[in-house]
Structures are given as structure tokens and as C-alpha cells.
Amino acid sequence: MAGPDSSPSPSTAPETSRGHASRIDRSYYTRTAPLLRVQRWLMFIAFVAALGWSAWALTDKSHQLAPGAVVAAHATWENDCQACHVPLSPIREGGWQEQVIAGSATHPAKCEKCHALASHSLRQVPAEVGSCSSCHVDHRGREADISRVADTTCTACHGDISAHSIAAVGEPTPVLPSVTRFDADHHPPFQSLATDPGRVKFSHGRHLRAGLTLGAGDRADKVAWTYDRLPAADRARYLPAGVSETDLVQLDCAACHQFASDLPLDVSLRDLRPVSALLAGRAPGAIALPVEFERHCSACHQLPADADASATAATLADAGTAADTSAGAPSQLPHGLDAGAIRRYLETRAVAALHAPPEGAIPGERRPLPVAHVPEPPRDAASLDEVRAGVDARRLLVRGVCEKCHQVDPVTLAAEESLVAALAGDRAPQEGWFGVGPSRIKVVWFEKARFDHSAHRSWSCRECHAGAYPPALPPADVLASSPLDHGQVLIAGKESCLGCHAPRQRDAASGREFGGARFDCVECHGYHGHGHLPPLPVAP
């Protein structure tokens, strides 16, 4: 039997429903909840903002969506939004509008009405090619340069370019160097400077020495050049002011590397024909014009076509530098002939040697290729043998002259077009002839970038082309042979660019400041301009 202390206490007794109801505040619905107050304030602010935006739209409708004025080149269409925009469709991809607006898409056709676009690369992924406005953002003011895009538009792909390139059918996936910025560690060397495709033997060091040789000694083939040895027609162009004609010839870079602004006023359209394509769209001082034999080389390098058959090999090796225009000088071979034209010229000269020269002819005069009024060829065997001997002697001489500067290739010519073979009835192919292939001298070295010499005119040529200058030699070595540097690329690499095109900084050791010039991607590279490239054939 339980005692009196075993009854439950009031604190542990179960609470009744009446007790629950007594604790509820019956006026709770008359008070505003905190969350409801925030909602009301947000609604009020949105309403006021809508009223303000509506008032702004009524007073300044043309700029309610544009963040600023268009670039100066587009100012004509600033009040004609339809010229660039499509109603209810964004001009930039990737925005939320593409998900909420049915049929929204980019419209590059609006830009292509004025801008002729070109493909960027054969290996680009078509799905990753953005619209024009994804890189070129307008409405940033009249003076904005919308062609100078941020580096991120380039490094988005070139930061891992192998992952953003496609391979053609049957080719492995290309492995390309990635680029994230222009510096010594994140930009590869200039690929176009890896090799020199040129086929011309030329020594910059020899031509930049006084006298055009390494010394004027007792050797006959090392006679130094003086200005009075140059033809009178060319002497005035090379002779500096205040220099005597008996002084040694001293060439500089401008003697051969000319720019459009350096051309004489009386230059003919025929002279501009080879360089017209290079001048189009470029600044007058951007790139040096091609070196031409007639304009830059013929003053010293003659092309004799007549010689004694007993001439020695040493004479042949240096015959190409015998610039003698006096009476009795040998005939000059026109420059730029192919193997067949060389044979026709030498055969014609050998036949003409059996006849007296025409009255009034000037010995050694440079004349066009004589294809008309050829003297009557001989038909007796003795005269034909003499003509053959003359052709062989001239061929040996001309080959030695051509090999002085060019790489020559052996050529076998058909007998049908030979004057001597036709007279002798010989139909066998003629071996021993030679041809001079294309020089393949690059005019534009940076094929995937741009460089403007006029923007760097405050620097001397030696700053970037130090390898073209002759080394200082002791007196005992002045007669040494000049090395032919035609296999060396004398164009400066990225190391010479980093001295200026880098963030401004100070060398801790010397205290010298360097850098400060722009070094973003578009400073040297362009996205468009590689031409309209066909799509790369890829597997489906």
C-alpha cells in the first residue's frame, strides 16, 4: 500500500489542452512579422526603381540600355540601333537571355555587312568560335579601341591550345605550345626564326666592312673596293657627302634594305610591281622592301658572259665581282634567266663571236636577251666545233659566277631548243647545264605576327641585328676568308623584345629600368587576317 508521499507532484503532472491554449497569444495576427516587413520594403524599393527607370526612359530613351557612346568608327549608326542589333535577341552569347528567349542567337551577319571576316585557323573548333561582340565590345566611348581585346580572349584557348585544336583525318592530335603571356617562361620562341629557307650565299659581315673585304693585302682576290671603281651611274647613290672617291666603300644597312619611304620620286610603276602587294595595307616604314639585283647588287656584281676558254678556276670564282665597264669588257648576262634561257643566250653569243660586232655597238653594254636578228649560224663542222667550244667556255664561266651567290642545281636540257644541236642534227639530251632556283629570301619574317620598323626607328640596327655586323679581327686575321652567314638567321628573337615589351621594372644589380612597352597579345598578333581558310576535314 502506497504511502502519502507516493502521489505525483504538480510539476510532473501531464499538461492539459486548456493549459496549451492559455499560453497562445490571441493577438498574434494583429502584429507584422519581421520577414513580412522585409518583403514589403523590397516591394516598395522595386516600385520606386521602376518609376525612376520609366522616367529615365522617357527623357533619355536612346541610352537607357547602352552603357556609353559607340566607337568613333560606328558613330554614324549610333541612333540606328537596328543597324547592329536584332530586336529581342542578344548580340553576345552565353547570357541568360538565350535560355529565356526562344530563338535568341548571335547575329554576326550584322557585322559582316561592313567587315570582311576571315577564319582564324584550320584547326579551330567551330563550336568554340564566338561572335564578334564576344571579343569586340562597343558602347565604351568614342576613343575606345574595340580591336584591342583582353588577353583572356586569346588565352582561353591558347592557354591549353592542344585541347582546343582538331586534327585532320588520318593525322594525330596536334601538340602545340601553349601561351599564357609574353615573357621568357610563358611564350615559346618565334617559330619563323628556326631556319632560314633562303638559297642565296651572302655574308653581311663582308659587305659591311670598309672596302667590302676582310682586308686589302697582296692577294689578287682581296683587292679593296673604292668608290671610283663603281660605275658612274651608281657612284652618286653610294658616295656619302664629304667622302673622297678614292676612299674605301663603306656600305650600311640602308644601302640594300630600303623602305617605301626611301624610294626615289622618279621610281617607275615597273619598279613598284614586285613590291605592290607588300605595300598594300602597311605603313611606309613597316617592312623593308625586297632586295633586287639590278637596284642593289649590279653596281659591284657584274655577270660576264664572255671569257677565254683557258680561264682558271680562281678567275672564275671571282669573275662575278669584276665591275669593269670600260671598252672591251665582256658581255653581261641578264639576271634571272632559267637554264633554257641561259643556253640560248650563250649559244647566241658564241655564234655572234664568229662575226664582226655590229657598227655602233658598245662592248660590254648590258642588252636584253638577243632573241631577234641572230647572225646566220655556221654550218660547217669546224665552225660548229668552235661554237661548241665557245658555249662550253661561257657555260663554265657563268656557272662559276652564279655559284658565287646562288645554289645551282644540275639540269638536263632537251636538244630540240638548242641552236647548235639543231644545226648538227644532235637529238640527245644535253647534260652539264645548271639552273638557279628561287632565292626564297623571306621578305616578311614574322608570318603570324606583325612588326613595324618605323615604330622602332629610335633604335639602331645593331641593337636587334648584331649578328649581321663583322666581328673585330686582329691584324693577323684580316686576310682570312669571310664566313658565309647565309645559314644564320640574323633576325632578333623574343629575347631582344623582352627588354622593352614587359612590365616596367628595375634591375636590382645595375639599377637600370627596363620594360614599360605594351606586351599584350594584340600588340603583335591578330585574330583575323589569315585569309578565308577552308574547313579542315575531320572524322564525323
Residue 117 near residue 136, CB atoms below 8 Å: no
**Predicted local confidence at residue 310, as pLDDT:** 38
- Nearest CA to 485 out of 240, 203, 237 is that of 203
Rounded Cα distance, 306 and 364, in Å? 9
Residue 250 near residue 210, CB atoms below 8 Å: yes
Residue 343 has pLDDT above 50, yes or no: yes
**Predicted local confidence at residue 408, as pLDDT:** 92
Rounded Cα distance, 208 and 194, in Å? 25
Q: Could you report the per-residue pLDDT of 475-489, keeping only the tens digit for each?
A: 444 444 445 667 788
Joined together, the cell numbers standing for residue 477 give: 686575321
| Count of CB atoms situated within 10 Å of the CB of 416 | 9
Residue 256 has pLDDT above 60, yes or no: yes
DSSP letter, residue 95: S
One-letter identity of residue 263: L
Residue 406, helix vs strand vs coil: strand
Work out the mean pLDDT of the chain and round it to a whole number. Answer: 78
Cα separation values, 351 from 109, 150, 211, 220, 418, Å: 67, 70, 38, 33, 12
Give the confidence band of 353 by pLDDT, cuts at 50, 70, 90: confident
Helix spans in 168-225 (H): 204-207
**pTM (predicted TM-score):** 0.72
Give DSSP secondary structure letters for 117-170. -----TTB-GGG---GGGT----S-TT--TTS--THHHHHHHTTGGGGB---TT
Is 150 or 382 the better-scoring residue by pLDDT?
150
The helix (H) or strand (E) run that includes residue 422 is: helix 419-424
For the stretch 71-97, what's the b/e string if a residue is b when 16 or more beta carbons lie within 10 angstroms of its beta carbon?
Answer: beebeeebeeeeebeeeeebbeeeeee
Q: How much of the chain exceeds pLDDT 70, in percent?
A: 74
Q: Could you report the per-residue pLDDT of 270-304, keeping only the tens digit for each?
A: 566 666 666 666 777 888 888 889 888 988 888 88
Q: Could you report the per-residue pLDDT of 404-461, keeping only the tens digit for each?
A: 899 899 999 998 888 888 777 788 889 889 999 889 988 888 888 889 998 898 889 9
Mark residue 527 as left, alpha or beta (left: phi above 0; alpha: psi -120 to 50; beta: remaining): alpha
Rounded Cα distance, 392 and 267, in Å? 39
Rounded Cα distance, 305 and 343, in Å? 11
Q: Are strands 505-506 and 513-514 parallel, antiparallel or unpaired?
A: antiparallel
The helix (H) or strand (E) run that includes residue 40 is: helix 34-59
Joined together, the cell numbers standing for residue 487 give: 645559314
Q: What is the 3-state secondary structure (H, E, C) of 280-306?
A: CCCCCCCCCCCCCHHHHHCCCCCCECC
Rounded Cα distance, 66 and 84, in Å? 13
One-letter identity of residue 181: R
- Nearest CA to 318 out of 379, 400, 197 is that of 400
**Predicted local confidence at residue 107, as pLDDT:** 63
Taking CB atoms within 8 Å and a gap of at least 24, the contacts of 384-387 are 384/420, 384/423, 384/424, 386/350, 386/354, 387/347, 387/350, 387/351, 387/354, 387/420
Residues 244-267 have a mean pLDDT of: 83
Counting every residue written for the chain, the total comes to: 540
**Predicted local confidence at residue 43, as pLDDT:** 94
**Predicted local confidence at residue 351, as pLDDT:** 82
How many Cα atoms within 13 Å fall on the side-chain side of residue 63?
A: 10
Rounded Cα distance, 404 and 46, in Å? 85
First to last CA, the chain: 95
Q: Could you report the per-residue pLDDT of 509-533, keeping only the tens digit for each?
A: 888 888 999 999 999 998 886 555 5
- Sequence-distant (≥ 6) Cβ neighbours of residue 107 within 8 angstroms: 86, 89, 91, 131
Residue 165 pairs in a beta bridge with 124
